[in-house]
A and B are shown apart, each in its own frame.
Chain A
């Protein structure tokens, strides 16, 4: 008997790496993606990918990378998987190089490495300042090769709706929506990977792409998959505010020597360098973001009285800038009209990344057997704060180990009639749901509700968290859920109805928003990106724990699981002094 097909949902780096690892074993894969895979959000990653190869002779090691990552994540990540990821870094970068990624080179023709936040080493390989795009393209080409060989089928412009779960609680496939015909179909699979990215759009404006609604994670959370550490949301210190999104200005800009400053007493004040002499402009993102908030809101020192500070590269050789940072400076120039080679950039922090996500075991299986998760949608590698250039690595590493684990899982399962029944039932459930959505005739506009959601989440559940405001935000979320039922559908068409899809997505976003908000409310400490002025210290006795949210009709049920800190003993996290002195 031919082996059962496997399904990968999501065509970013994690999804495509999973696909390649499965197809390489000769097993057919169906890839589902809401956009043509080459347009996935991975393209937005700019600065690079970490691999401790020590090619600059600084004594870097995978263990040092592991320690930086755990320390940067404020000890909330389970340590064994992070260690394995850091050890795999060099081989992953070499693999990408063999695939033809145009990484920047040294005079000798070797891979060049640059510095990033939260480390003292040149550890980050990069392709200009569009590294994520370049890596995604390399994987896209490899998947296309398998597609040409008939091992991979792509379902692009298909939207994941739900896992098809059988009576025994096992995932036996998915249901998905053809975004053109708006028809629901069920697809069987021996195992399913969700590599659907983060939930940035829950915050309205963020550095994320418009497709990063978190809808897939929200859907399976409501089906019983646990969601872990949802409250850990990274706000990137340097973004350009815009009407439609916050455009990222990569940390690599500081890695190449960019300096953050604002005016104090009429003179430039390099406040990160002064506050954090050991790491300067390359402190981790949560630290830099809070420092900018302090300077702008507490001290009133924003540029021109606005919530902005300068990010300055005007002192760096323009040719070097073009070679190493071209792509990102071009974004600034196109949107702001100023040439950052000549004029300092004006930036402000913006919501960027979710450290939390679907709970997975060390094999990347979620709490629903047969359903896997990898990439930003999982919670595994970044603890309470992700270090720059670790996201591309975690996407590729998680995909690399999850693919073969899915194959092994699928082979261990025996075929039975339960699968078909589960698929049929789930398809009917989804069709019924859409039939109800099509009849919505209320007064609310789905896009207006989404905007309100984003404004509340950004104001209250990002950099500074206050329990009263978190409680008020949860009440607001309940209100938005009520108003969701009163949405009116403008578009009654049965073809490419984006409004209809988005109504469904918004419900899932509201479910995740509650997980994020209530997780933050319950965590009465400050750790990594989660900061409560009323509880300014890390509290290991009570909160060195993973937050686990499980869905119930009464809202998220939160419980706490111990963190595996067996390899590096937790210690205070300080970036004003060297790590050895901390």
Chain B
């Protein structure tokens, strides 16, 4: 009788500056497993395939249903969330690595704080007057809402940046995720009132003009965010702004 199993090769690293190394694990097959549930099973008995006891693998996860963005990693060469990486759909041994565009904290956990700093710089929010009762919000057409919602689902997971040839630790390019957010807040009726300050940021260092048009971002986005449409739209907005700046100076 065939005994099926699940084999996982994990790239590990004990500390931020340490050398990485590989370990392979094997557990009995069960249907419905995903990469995270396999990692959970391994930590209940942290022993490598060769039988060497080891430490439980460290990873980041929270919602397990692909809405929080935590468990992003590179699985069989493709960046994605580990929770929706179903074992039955993956070639074995499954190769699991941390994202490469962000500093490794430990094993599969990386530090994506740069993404949140970029959002801060781009001022992607509606500057409300206050939280007290100031009545209803602006009207928004169902059509605008549908496009806005498609942008608003960005989990800041970083897949688009992992896949982007222009985004790395020696470039200033801010990447596709923030471009989607700038377009979102620039299209909101109240957010649009502060459109220019966001455009100034996106016309500066690492802004939209650094995009190399590889279009990898839209391919890997787990939420099908229309990132290339957003890049095109922001390019249009910045061009108009640049012309206006020239005329009004």
Contacts and interface: CB of A to CB of B under 8 A. Distances in A.
A499 B56 contact: yes
B64 A247 contact: yes
Interface stretch (B28-36, B212-220, B228-236): B28-36
Interface string A177-204: 0001000000000000000000000000
Most chain A beta-carbon contacts within 10 A, residue among B43, B53, B67, B120 = B67
A498 interface: yes
A137 B44 contact: no
Interface stretch (A32-40, A309-317, A371-379, A559-567): A32-40
Interface stretch (B90-98, B127-135, B164-172, B240-248): B127-135
A375 to B, nearest CB: 16
B10 to A, nearest CB: 15
B178 interface: no
A147 B34 contact: no
Given A35-B62, A103-B145, A451-B44, A44 B126 contact: no
B55 A493 contact: yes
A370 B67 CA distance: 34
B1 interface: no
A577 B84 CA distance: 42
A41 B63 CA distance: 6
Nearest to A212: B62
B84 to A, nearest CB: 5
B55 A109 contact: no
Interface in A306-344: 323, 327, 331, 334-335
A159 B124 CA distance: 28
Contacts of B140: 102, 105, 109
Contact of B66 (A102, A110, A244, A331): A331
Interface string B44-55: 111000000111
Interface in A126-144: 127-128, 130, 133-134, 137, 141-142, 144
Nearest to A336: B32
A16 B175 CA distance: 27
Interface stretch (A92-100, A281-289, A361-369, A532-540): A92-100
B191 interface: yes
B84 A107 contact: no
A39 B131 contact: no
A490 B53 contact: yes
Q: Determine chain B's interface SS by DSSP, over half rule.
A: loop
A44 B44 contact: no
Contacts of A41: 62-63
Contact of B58 (A447, A492, A498): A498
B116 A244 contact: no
Contacts of A134: 149, 152-153
Contacts of B131: 20-21, 24, 95, 400
Nearest to B146: A323
Contacts of B83: 244
A479 interface: no
B136 A94 contact: yes
Most chain A beta-carbon contacts within 10 A, residue among B128, B155, B191 = B128
A211 interface: yes
Given A94-B135, A141-B125, A490-B46, A44 B55 contact: no
Most chain A beta-carbon contacts within 10 A, residue among B145, B185, B190 = B145
Contacts of A147: 120
B3 interface: no
Q: Interface size bucket, A side?
A: 35 or more
Nearest to B53: A490
B139 A109 contact: yes
B66 A133 contact: no
A499 B44 CA distance: 11
Contacts of A582: none
Nearest to B126: A100
B105 interface: yes
B145 A496 contact: no
Contacts of A334: 66, 84
Nearest to A145: B125
Given A21-B131, A44-B65, A210-B61, A495 B106 contact: yes
Contacts of B190: 98, 100
Given A495-B15, A499-B55, A499-B56, A44 B63 contact: yes
Contacts of B70: 35, 39
B156 interface: yes
B68 interface: yes
B34 A244 contact: yes
A209 B63 contact: yes
Contact of A91 (B34, B133, B149): B133
Nearest to B124: A141
Nearest to A154: B116
A98 B134 contact: yes
A110 B30 contact: no
A141 B139 CA distance: 21
Given A107-B142, A323-B146, A102 B105 contact: no
Contacts of A578: none
Interface in A141-160: 141-142, 144-145, 147-148, 156
Nearest to A95: B131
B203 interface: no
A245 interface: yes
B211 interface: no
A166 B138 CA distance: 48
Interface in B153-200: 153, 155-156, 184-185, 188, 190-191
Interface string A213-255: 0000000000000000000000000000011110110000000
Given A24-B130, A447-B43, A102 B148 contact: yes
A109 B141 contact: yes
Contacts of A111: 136
A490 B44 CA distance: 10
A96 to B, nearest CB: 8
Nearest to B41: A243
B127 A445 contact: no
Contacts of A493: 14, 55
Q: What are the 3 tightest A-B residue pairs by CB atom distance, in nearest-first order?
A: A97-B137, A109-B139, A141-B125
Given A109-B139, A144-B116, 4 more contacts: A39-B69, A133-B153, A134-B149, A400-B131
Interface of B: 14-15, 30, 32-34, 36-37, 40, 43-46, 53-56, 58, 60-70, 83-84, 86, 105-106, 109, 112-113, 116, 119-120, 123-128, 130-131, 133-142, 145-146, 148-149, 152-153, 155-156, 184-185, 188, 190-191
